[in-house]
Amino acid sequence: MRSRRSVLAVPGSNPRFLEKAQSLDVDEVFLDLEDSVAPLAKAQARGNVVKALLEGDWTGKTRVVRVNALETQWTYRDVIEVVEGAGERLDCVMLPKVQDATEVVWLDTLLTQIEKTMGFEVGRIGIEAQIENARGLVNVDAIAGSSRRLETLVFGPADFMASINMRTLVVGEQPPGYPEGDAYHYILMRLLMAARMHDLQVIDGPYLQIKDVEGFTKVARRAAALGYDGKWVLHPSQVEACNEVFSPSQEDYDHAELILEAYEHYTTVEQRGAVMLGDEMIDEASRKMALVVAAKGRAAGLSRTTSFRS
């Protein structure tokens, strides 16, 4: 599983931003050909993106390109030009506004044809599917199971809010008049269940008030508490908060590693299935929970500060 705590959006039409993105401490960068690029700039943006992938230093980052939605006239050229031009330097293609499984199947098929034509490893390039309207959410189970290439489901809040006529202009904030609770809870959980059913990651979308780091952190914590793997960032000011929110604390990471080490010892050396770690009983369910936290901690670069002693 790739680490996707922080997912940076970068307009493909802006070479300066493409260069700056390489130095930021984010897990994933997606070079955008869709909403952040004006219609007349899309052809040039493809060339910018190919050049940035080939010549840039993206060490340590997952490299993704978001193409245009399948309902537009640009999508097929986006995929062909970017993948033929820089496919060996590309990890995933993000398809926005996915409404049913056939759209992901289309992208999978086109990627396979390009890989075979260019002599690339077939199936290596992954797919991220962005869910941005009611139809996509209703069909999300089928979408999540539509391709072996699929790695991630992504929530697109702005378009989604518009598609259901939500009465607010502030992306991610609760709509005025909504009673105590979370108007986004069902949407986030629906995406999470579909993703986990198919062993996919799931990413929360952007928070548009880029100078409000406190507001960003609050919304990010909501998604992290549910089990989301990460969130989009639109500005360098959001990166540190995002990485922190979607990483386990040092205490939790150490505890998870202790559980794994202790459980391994007791089940193999002493051949017991349920044991005590201090005052805590641990069993197979504990091991599964600890695996999740430990994996996130390792991906975040944490190092252990404790060790198990029988």
Q: Return per-residue pLDDT of the chain as tens, 310 residues.
A: 789 999 999 999 999 999 999 999 999 999 999 999 999 999 999 999 999 999 999 999 999 999 999 999 999 999 999 999 999 999 999 999 999 999 999 999 999 999 999 999 999 999 999 999 999 999 999 999 999 999 999 999 999 999 999 988 788 788 888 888 899 999 999 999 999 999 999 999 999 999 999 999 999 999 999 999 999 999 999 999 999 999 988 998 898 988 898 888 888 877 776 777 888 888 888 889 899 888 888 888 888 888 887 7
First-to-final CA distance of the chain: 31
Q: Tell me the H-state helices in the chain.
A: 15-21, 42-55, 75-86, 101-118, 134-138, 140-144, 157-163, 185-197, 213-226, 239-245, 250-268, 284-299
Whether the CB-CB separation of 9 and 36 falls below 8 Å is answered with yes
Coil, helix or strand at residue 77:
helix
Whether the CB-CB separation of 208 and 158 falls below 8 Å is answered with yes
Residues 42, 11: Cα–Cα separation, whole Å: 10
Task: Note the pLDDT of residue 273.
Answer: 67
Residues 259, 276: Cα–Cα separation, whole Å: 10
Whether the CB-CB separation of 201 and 151 falls below 8 Å is answered with yes
Task: Note the pLDDT of residue 179.
Answer: 82
Residues 202, 155: Cα–Cα separation, whole Å: 8
Task: Note the pLDDT of residue 265.
Answer: 82
Task: Note the pLDDT of residue 283.
Answer: 84
Tokens 């995002």 correspond to 242
pTM of the model: 0.91
Residue 232, both tokens: 């989009």
